[in-house]
Chains A and B, each alone.
Chain A
Amino acid sequence: MAPEHENQPIEGLDALRAPNRSEAQRQAAQARILAAAEPLLERRARPATSFEILAAWARPGLVAASVALLVFAAALQFGPDRSSEIQPVTLEDVLASGEAGDVPALLVAINEPDTDAVMAAALLQNGNGGRVPDDSGEGQ
Chain B
Amino acid sequence: MDATGEGQTPVIDEPLLVERVRRGDREAFGILVDRYSEQAFAVAYGFLQHAEDSEDLVQDAFIRALERIDKLGRGSNFGPWFYRLLVNAALNRRKYLARRRTEDVPASASGPDSPAVDTERAELRGRLAAAVSSLPDDLETVVVLHDLEGFTHPEIAKVLGIPEGTCRSHLSRARRMLREALKEYQR
Contacts and interface: CB of A to CB of B under 8 A. Distances in A.
Interface of A: 2, 5-21, 26, 29-30, 32-34, 36-38, 40-46
A37 B3 CA distance: 22
B175 interface: yes
CB-based closest 9 A-B pairs: A45-B24, A44-B24, A18-B45, A19-B106, A18-B42, A9-B147, A2-B172, A15-B125, A6-B172
11 contacts: A9-B175, A10-B128, A16-B129, A17-B42, A17-B148, A29-B55, A33-B59, A34-B33, A38-B26, A41-B21, A41-B66
A15 B121 contact: yes
B85 interface: no
Residue from B54, B55, B132, B186 with most neighbouring chain A CB atoms (10 Å)? B55
Contacts of B41: 18, 21, 29
Contacts of A21: 38, 41
Contacts, number: 108
Contacts of B148: 13-14, 16-17
B37 A29 contact: yes
A10 B147 CA distance: 8
Contacts of A37: 29, 33, 62-63, 66
A39 B147 CA distance: 37
B59 A10 contact: no
B34 interface: yes
B128 A34 contact: no
A44 B24 CA distance: 5
Interface stretch (B92-100, B154-162, B176-184): B176-184
B165 to A, nearest CB: 12
A41 B26 contact: yes
A49 to B, nearest CB: 15
Contacts of B109: 15, 19
A17 B144 CA distance: 9
Nearest to B38: A26
A12 B126 CA distance: 11
A116 B172 CA distance: 88
Contacts of B55: 29, 32
Nearest to B41: A18
A16 B34 contact: no
A42 B26 CA distance: 9
B13 interface: no
A38 B22 CA distance: 13
B46 interface: yes
Nearest to B61: A33
A108 to B, nearest CB: 66
A20 B37 contact: no
Contacts of B71: none
A37 B185 CA distance: 45
